[in-house]
Amino acid sequence: MSDKPTTGELFGVPYNFERPSISRMLESYWQPGEGMLVEKPFGIGYTLNLANWRSWVVLAVAGVLYYQAQQSGDEDFGDAAEDAVEVVVD
């Protein structure tokens, strides 16, 4: 059997299936000289670089949206069943 590569790029998207270590995990999520997105330490694609301030803005916005969805989620689903509309298509 031939050895398959465990790291590389496929259609411009990076992948890495090497066994992750603690140091590699920490290094990949905290890269001060890099942009907002960096390669994942394990898996396919990109992840947030927590050394970049833009990543914290993204996490804050996601947290606020999640909080709002949890607060208004119970009320919205109950009204949708009562206001059902029948559509007839010829």
Tens-digit pLDDT profile for residues 64-74 = 999 999 988 75
Assess if residue 90 is contained within a domain: no
pLDDT at 79: 53
Position with higher pLDDT, 56 vs 82: 56
Give SS3 for 58: helix
Q: Per the structure, how many domains does the chain have? A: 1
* pTM over 0.75, yes/no: no
Assess if residue 61 is contained within a domain: yes
Position with higher pLDDT, 76 vs 12: 12
Assess if residue 30 is contained within a domain: yes
Assess if residue 65 is contained within a domain: yes
Supply the range of the domain harboring residue 78. Answer: 7-82
Assess if residue 87 is contained within a domain: no
Cα torsion for 29, 31, 32, 37, to the nearest 10°?
Answer: -70
